[in-house]
Copies of this chain bind each other. A is one copy, B any other.
């Protein structure tokens, strides 16, 4: 019986128009990655489970897609674990591989594995799918594409500055205005946490602070109180949440408030170093954001996050930061890393909403050839081959349907030009050339026909 065709929830088919738009964005990002000296790598879709499990916290382990062992191997299913509801152990007994959850951990594994084949500092980019068994919602899919650029094996504020510049260059090329590149530094957060209360409370502090946007200062205060911070801490925090002025101004204020916190001072100094390299570039919409506290389980220095323009209601479209020692998980120590990532799917949604795709993306074909049937096509075969060799995308209508039907198809194809070859044309050795935009037609001798006239 025929099945009603459908795909798993949270996954998508991409029609030609979708692929054209996604390719446009990917190619733009890729071009800029290459201009900044990043080299492409690719890793397998499936990694060994041991390489991924435990690297993304509890949530990551839970949202990982596991691939069942093949053949007889599943006979080893640990039924006892299942009956005790030890699902992790049960999964382990029937699955040794999992789908890539992000591009960073596979990259760390790659660097450790291939360390003797690479020259350091190593700048790599990677554009591949990742999979997460997350509840699907707007802008969140179970299969989506990440575009990552990372450099490992070097520490220099020049690299951080290049990350900021790279975000800016890509958005500029995509004509996307108003995306905000937010930066912060882990050491500033550490310094503030120490300044406010007992040591080692940075996570409690940042979890509360992260909600400032949603619940306001009063809400953050409430939450901090519940997490055991005293009144005194809240008094100290108030001026920190009221920073204003340029980034340099804000860092000045912060420095005077946190002058006794060496961690914070170090973080501030590092951001100043980075800004020295960014300032000649007039990057628009760069912002210091004290509440930015993402990925604290592995970021160790600067933290990036890019928000879409305010008119678009969507989460971050880019992120990144400095992480030291991620490759140590795979036995390679003291390998400093820094990276940024573009979320392709959300970026595409932003461009769509703001109507920023070039109209030329709709043209997947340059010329469509209409005719009276096979005998006519046969005359054209060597000519069509020549046109294609010159780079033209030529769609030959394959059958001898009524001309009306062929014209309808030509219209839907968005081809800017149609070439018609029928009885009269065959007799006279000509082509009728139609500009599909203006509707104008012209008759041209087939043997001298030059495709360079087909401009749009």
List residues of A whose CB falls within 8 A of some B CB: 2-8, 11-16, 18-20, 22-23, 32, 34-37, 39-48, 50-51, 62-63, 65-68, 70-72, 74-75, 77, 79, 82, 85, 87, 90-91, 94-97, 99, 109-110, 112-114, 117-119, 121, 123-124, 129, 131, 133, 142-143, 151, 154-159, 161-162, 165, 169, 273, 276-277, 280-281, 328-331, 364-365, 368, 374, 377-378, 381-382, 385, 388-389, 391-399, 409, 412-413
Contacts and interface: CB of A to CB of B under 8 A. Distances in A.
Nearest to A132: B70
A19 B40 CA distance: 6
A256 to B, nearest CB: 26
A158 B90 contact: no
A117 to B, nearest CB: 6
Nearest to A338: B398
Given A87-B74, A119-B412, A382-B280, A155 B399 contact: yes
Q: Which 6 A-B residue pairings sit nearest by Cβ, starting from the closest?
A: A37-B395, A11-B44, A16-B39, A2-B331, A70-B133, A5-B113
Q: Which of A20, A70, A161, A398 has the most CB of B within 10 A?
A: A398
B50 A3 contact: yes
11 contacts: A4-B330, A5-B331, A13-B43, A23-B40, A35-B394, A36-B388, A37-B394, A74-B82, A94-B94, A158-B374, A158-B396
Given A5-B330, A8-B97, A70 B75 contact: no
Contacts of A50: 3
Contact of A328 (B2, B62, B276): B2
Given A277-B381, A281-B385, A114 B37 contact: no
A57 to B, nearest CB: 16
B46 A11 contact: yes
Nearest to A40: B19
Contacts of A412: 119
Contact of A7 (B48, B124, B157, B364): B48
Given A133-B70, A399-B156, A16 B40 contact: yes
Contact of A35 (B70, B156, B393, B397): B393
A15 B277 contact: no
B15 A114 contact: yes
A148 B169 CA distance: 34
Contact of A65 (B47, B70, B75, B154): B70
B330 A3 contact: yes
Contact of A77 (B43, B51, B82, B273): B82
Given A35-B393, A143-B46, A158-B396, A3 B40 contact: no
A210 B211 CA distance: 67
A277 B385 CA distance: 11
Contact of A67 (B72, B99, B331, B382): B99
Nearest to A168: B385
A427 to B, nearest CB: 20
Nearest to A50: B3
A51 B32 CA distance: 39
Contacts of A378: 276-277, 280
Given A19-B41, A71-B87, 18 more contacts: A4-B331, A5-B113, A6-B51, A8-B44, A12-B44, A16-B39, A37-B395, A37-B396, A39-B365, A45-B99, A45-B131, A46-B142, A63-B70, A65-B70, A158-B377, A169-B389, A280-B381, A280-B382
